[in-house]
Amino acid sequence: MSEKPIPPRSAEAATLARELRILLGNFKRRMRDQTRAGDLTLAQIFVLARLEREGPATVSTLAREAGVRPQSMGATIAALEAADFVRGAADPADGRQTLLSLTDACREVIRASRLAREDWLLNAIETKLTPEQQAELSRAVVLLQRLVE
C-alpha cells in the first residue's frame, strides 16, 4: 500500500508562524513592563497565576505542576512570602500539609496590574491605530482566538 504524501508546508504560513511567535513574545514583554510583574521571576508569576486560577495548593503540587523540584519551588515560595504575596495555612484535610494561597495585598497588586496593562493597551490602540485599523485588529483577535481553541 502506498501512503499519501504529506503536502509541503507553505513558506508563507511558516513565515507567518515565526513572525507571530516573535511578535507575541515582544507583546507579552511590553505588557509585563507595564506592571510590577516585571519584578517577578517566571516561576513566581507561574505560582501566582496558578493560585489565583485554581486556589490554594501545596509546595509539592506547585512543584509538580511547574516541573521543578520541591526545593526549588520552596525558594520561589519563600520569596513570595517575603513580598507578602502568599501565605501558608494548615490543610484542613491533612494538618501535616501547608496550603499556600494569595494574600489580599497580592490580589490587589494583580487587580492593579491588570488595570495598568489594559490602560496601556487601550491608550496604544486609541493613539496608534485609526478606526479602520481598530476594526481590522478586532477581526484579527477573532482569528487569534480560533488559533488557541
pTM of the predicted protein model: 0.76
Q: The domain 40-102: what is its CATH number?
A: 1.10.10.10
**What distance in Å separates the CA atoms of residue 118 and residue 34, rounded to the nearest whole number?**
9
Task: Express each pLDDT in 122-139 by its tens digit.
Answer: 999 999 999 999 999 999
On whether the CB atoms of residues 85 and 105 are closer than 8 A, the answer is yes
Share of the chain above pLDDT 90, in %: 75
pLDDT at 134: 98
Task: Please say if the pLDDT value at position 1 is more than 60.
Answer: no
DSSP state of 57: B
Category of 84 on φ-ψ map: left (φ > 0), alpha (ψ -120 to 50) or beta: left
Name the one residue in this structure whose C-alpha cell is 487569534: 144
Domain boundaries, the chain: 10-39+104-149, 40-102
Share of the chain above pLDDT 70, in %: 93
pLDDT at 127: 97
pLDDT at 39: 82
On whether the CB atoms of residues 88 and 99 are closer than 8 A, the answer is yes
pLDDT at 101: 97
User: Helix or strand or coil: residue 86?
Assistant: strand
pLDDT at 124: 96
